Amino acid sequence: MDGNISQYYLELSNKPVRFEAVNQLTNVFFDDSNKDVFAVRSGGVMGVVVKSPNNEGKPLNFRMEDHGPVLSIKFSLDHKVLAVQRTNNSVEFMNFDGNKVDSEYSQSCKKNSNVLGFVWTYINEVALITDHGIELYMHLKTTSTSVQWFVWCSFNKIALLASAHGSQLQPVLFKPGSISKLPKVETEPGRMALERDLTLATLYGVPAVLILRHQSGPHTAEVHVYTINGPGQALVKSHVLKLGLSGRFAINVVDDLILVHHQVCIYIVLYQISTKGKPKKRYMFLSLVVTIDIRSQHISGFSIAN
């Protein structure tokens, strides 16, 4: 970058996905794998509307029987099977022909386990993430470990399983018909992480884990970036992003840029890890590259680490 920031900008799509707001009748769900937004009314008996930025045609609209509150809902990767979780011990499956669902069947998890959520790993494979580990169906595979919550990256087919209140993070790689544990993320001893503070992403073609850390003192929040060096190798800390702010944040990655949204100030802080930073131990410290005020759409300029 040559410092001429007028050449670089972010722009919201002129075709946003609009959906019904959450209310007493309607619940809204987002499926990251297919980028589908589900608006489910009265458990599906009053209709389910599915919209996606990937589908410029008419939204999908169908009904399903109400067997209780919907906890999670996702299509298979080819949109031919709908999976719905209503309880903590099973997931329902329904064939979908583009207009309606039928042939309802279900898959229960192992005895004494609770389903925390599920993901479609491939077109014909679904993984149930339970508090005892992972159960992979259509080809039955299991892996056993204590799990309290998880995050999922559909692009890299990696799930990050958290235990011990987020102080232990276990990456798991999915391949057709198989589950492989990767070495645990080496975080700071005794430091716990919350589900909302973790982001799985890809940076310059490399799988990455981004962990938001709230340090002691004002304006000291940081994002710790862990990257994987090769197949089967451990995720190691490569960068620390100095936010210079405190409070609630959300993180996205777009075109290898890390976007940190500060929810109170309504600011977006951008980072590019290819920028030269300040070395410390085995990783680099980076200050912000540019900030954007969402309200005024003003770009404040560059402030690269020295």
pLDDT in tens, 103-158: 788 899 998 999 999 999 998 899 999 999 999 997 556 777 889 999 999 999 99
Please write down the long-range contacts of 157-165, taking CB distance under 8 Å and 24 or more positions apart: 157/121, 158/182, 158/200, 158/207, 159/119, 159/127, 159/129, 159/134, 160/185, 160/198, 160/200, 160/209, 161/129, 161/133, 161/134, 162/193, 162/195, 162/198, 164/192, 165/192
Q: Among 132, 130, 135, 180, which residue's Cα sits nearest to residue 158?
A: 180
Q: How many C-beta atoms lie closer than 10 Å to residue 136's C-beta?
A: 19
More confidently predicted of 269 and 195: 195
Contact 142, 135 (CB under 8 A): yes
- Confidence band, pLDDT 50/70/90 cuts, at residue 2: very low
Q: For the chain, how big is the Rg over CA atoms in Å?
A: 21
Contact 245, 265 (CB under 8 A): yes
Beta bridge partners, 85, equal: 72
5-32 pLDDT per residue, tens: 455 556 777 788 889 889 999 999 999 9
